[in-house]
Structure 1
Amino acid sequence: MSIQAYQNNSVETASPGELTLMLYNGCIKFIKVARKSMENKEIEKKNTNIQKAQKIIQELMVTMDQQYAITKEIMPLYDYMNRRLMEANTANDAEILDEVQGLVEEFRDTWKQVILEARKSQYGQGGNA
Structure 2
Amino acid sequence: MAVNNPYQTYQNNAVTTASPGELTLMLYNGCLKFIQLAKKGIQDKNVELKNTNIQKAQNIVSEMMVTLNMDVEMSKNIMSLYDFINRRLIDANVKNDVQALEEAEGLIVEFRDTWKQVIQVNRQKQHAGQGGQV
2:75 aligned to which of 71, 76, 83: 71
Partner residue of 2:45 out of 37, 41, 45: 41
The residue aligned with 1:13 is 17
Amino acid at match of 2:94: T
**What runs of 5+ residues in structure 1 fail to find an aligned partner?**
none
TM-score by length of 1: 0.94
Task: Spell out structure 1 runs of 4+ moving beyond 6 A.
Answer: none
**Structure 2: unaligned runs, 5 residues or longer:** 130-134
C-alpha displacement of 1:49: 0.2
- Among all aligned residue pairs of Structure 1 and Structure 2, give the percentage whose two residues are the same amino acid: 58
- Which of 2, 6, 14 matches 2:6? 2
1:23 to 20, 27, 45: 27
Letter of the 2:81 counterpart: L
Deviation at 1:66, TM superposition (A): 2.0
Q: Supply the distance in 2 between the matched residues of 1:123 and 1:61 (Cα, whole angstroms).
A: 31
Aligned to 2:54: 50
Distance in structure 1 (CA, Å) of the matches to 2:111 and 2:31: 11
Total equivalences in the alignment:
125
SS in 1 for 2:73: coil
Give the RMSD, CA atoms, in angstroms. Answer: 1.1
Tell me the distance in 1 between the aligned counterparts of 2:19 and 2:71.
Answer: 20
